[in-house]
Amino acid sequence: MSISRTEIVRLSKKYAYALYDLANEEKKIKKVSEGIKAISEAINGSDELKTVIISPVVLKDDLYSVVNEICKKIKADKLVTGFCNTLIENNRMNIFCQIANELEDIISAENGEVKVSLVSAKKVSKAEIDKISKSIKGAINKKPVITTTVDDEIIGGLIINIGSKMLDASVKGRLDKMHASLKKYSL
């Protein structure tokens, strides 16, 4: 049975908050976060592993073996291993990577951080990133955690995503707006 995107988001948040609360109680947030991130990277880095994790036809015993082997290999905290086993038991291992992303967001928010995605037409220098980071921090009073992407299709300028908000200061964005405006007034 397939679940809706809304349900995946709801469940991911629920499991991520539960794991965060447990890790916080045991004063293991960093250790748990590192373990969850390592497993998520392993899943995302292997199409074969991703298939095993999300496949509904893989037996639970086989999934336990695979996941527990990964946990041993990365020397995951017992809280991480137990969490993964709970996901397997509840048939939720298929949303592990979404849960990992939610957990990262929760930890960032608790630390006064905000994820920022910066898209530019060419590589942005460290000095420019620092300047943008300082401006964002001054505007929203949170520490930005910036990831950069190069997309030459935007021609020039930047597209900045802060949480659910987007600032499109790209040449392509401006041209698209101009095109839409001209189209609106054409005969």
Per residue, the 3-state secondary structure of the chain, as one string, reads CCCCHHHHHHHHHHHHHHHHHHHHHCCCHHHHHHHHHHHHHHHHCCHHHHHHHHCCCCCHHHHHHHHHHHHHHCCCCHHHHHHHHHHHHCCCHHHHHHHHHHHHHHHHHHCCEEEEEEEECCCCCHHHHHHHHHHHHHHHCCEEEEEEEECHHHCCEEEEEECCEEEEEEHHHHHHHHHHHHHHHCC
Say which residue, 163 or 127, is predicted with more confidence.
Answer: 127
Average confidence score pLDDT of the chain: 94
Say yes or no to pLDDT of 68 above 80. Answer: yes
What average pLDDT does this structure show over 176-184? 90
Confidence of residue 3 (pLDDT cuts 50, 70, 90): confident
Sign of the alpha-carbon dihedral angle for 102, 108, 111, 112: negative
Residue-level pLDDT at 100: 97
54-68: burial string, b at 16+ Cβ within 10 Å, e else = eeeebeeeebeebbe
- The fraction of the chain above a pLDDT of 70, given in percent, is 98
Residue-level pLDDT at 185: 81
pLDDT in tens, 70-127: 999 999 999 999 999 999 999 999 999 999 999 999 999 999 999 899 999 999 999 9
Residue-level pLDDT at 187: 60
Residue-level pLDDT at 16: 97
Give yes or no for a contact between 7 and 13, defined as CB atoms under 8 angstroms apart. Answer: no
Gyration radius (Cα) of the chain, Å: 21
Residue-level pLDDT at 1: 55
CA angle (53 as vertex; 49, 59 as ends), nearest 5 = 115
Question: Domain 5-108 belongs to what topology?
Answer: Peroxidase; domain 1 (1.10.520)
Query: Which part of the chain has CATH 1.10.520.20?
Result: 5-108
Q: How many CA atoms lie within 13 A of 87 on its CB side?
A: 29
pLDDT in tens, 24-34: 999 999 999 99
